[in-house]
Amino acid sequence: MQNFENFLLNHLPRSKSIHPHYEAALQKMLLAGGKRFRPALLLGVVNAYNPLMIEGAMHAAYAIELLHTYSLIHDDLPAMDNSPLRRGEITLHVAYDEVTAILVGDALNTYSFEVLSNAPFSDYTRVALIRELATNGGLGGMVLGQAIDCYFENKPLSLEEVKILHTNKTAKLIAASLKMGAIIIGNEKLADILYDFGIKLGLLFQIQDDILDVTQTAQEAGKLTGNDESKNSFVTLLGLDGALVEANIVADELILELSNFDEKLKNELSSLLLEYINRHR
């Protein structure tokens, strides 16, 4: 992912302004790093089938990382999780103030679509990518999941309802990352297959995060842990042992599905996916 990091550094959001720390705040959480999991998924799909398109695909991968980073900034706000730590760094509302954090989140959200609009693809592909990112990251996707998550704090949901919550909050953006890679290479059939795979992968990702929330320290996780008691997490619903069983079931299903991908895609994604699929074990 070094090429992606270089691309990010060369395309950091900048603003000519009299504001004393606006530009630094725009860049702070992007420069803090993170897993870059979603960009890696998109780039992996493209590289499997058309490595010559990787440079252009960097724009789409960066757009996803921008939108994801905005969501983390807003998720950490006092009105939501009120977290002081993210990606091993002090969160923006603590480092600066709440207004700055809100506005930086807004700016990164909209900048993600500006980046996509300037990507070196056909108009048809650009529109398809913008639609996919907006649909899964917006009012019927990630934002909906956040709304459900916040509204139902201290109000227990059923297992199926928790899956609906996290399908929207976490899984849809992961699924969109894979699908957008397929859109770039022009394979609509693969796009649908990867989206369904990505939804299951996203649910596993969330189950694992819920497990790590009670098994890792904040220093290990790079963010506040032990903070989900009032949330509808898989651990609060199933207990740690039950969540581990659920994670193992989903992980085994994903490994089987991955083994059935064609050789090019399987070879490209296996090293990345197997690391994450098995990270709770």
Q: What is the pLDDT of residue 76?
A: 96
Q: pLDDT tens for residues 31-85?
A: 999 999 999 999 999 999 999 999 999 999 999 999 999 999 999 999 999 999 9
Mean pLDDT of 175-185: 98
Q: What is the pLDDT of residue 227?
A: 67
Over 70: is that where the pLDDT of 224 sits?
no
In this prediction, residue 216 has a pLDDT band, given cuts at 50, 70 and 90, of: confident
**What spatial distance separates the first Cα and last Cα of the chain, rounded to whole Å?**
25
Q: What is the pLDDT of residue 169?
A: 97
In this prediction, residue 261 has a pLDDT band, given cuts at 50, 70 and 90, of: very high
Q: What is the pLDDT of residue 230?
A: 75
Helix (H) or strand (E) holding 86: strand 85-86
Q: pLDDT tens for residues 118-173?
A: 999 999 999 999 999 999 999 999 999 999 999 999 999 999 999 999 999 999 99
Mean pLDDT of 232-260: 96
Q: What is the pLDDT of residue 220?
A: 67
Torsion of CA 63, 64, 65, 71, to 10 degrees: 110
- Cβ pair 211, 240 in contact under 8 A: yes
In this prediction, residue 231 has a pLDDT band, given cuts at 50, 70 and 90, of: confident
Q: What is the pLDDT of residue 1?
A: 81
In this prediction, residue 223 has a pLDDT band, given cuts at 50, 70 and 90, of: confident
Query: In terms of DSSP bridges, do strands 85-86 and 89-90 run parallel, antiparallel, or are they unpaired?
Result: antiparallel
Mean pLDDT of 99-107: 98
Mean pLDDT of 80-91: 94
Per-chain mean pLDDT for the chain: 95
Domain ranges within the chain, ordered by starting residue = 2-277
Please tell me whether residue 230 adopts helix, strand or coil conformation: coil
What is the CATH superfamily name and number for domain 2-277? Farnesyl Diphosphate Synthase (1.10.600.10)
Q: What is the pLDDT of residue 222?
A: 74
Q: pLDDT tens for residues 201-210?
A: 999 999 999 9
Helix (H) or strand (E) holding 90: strand 89-90
Return d(Cα 209, Cα 269) in angstroms, integer.
21
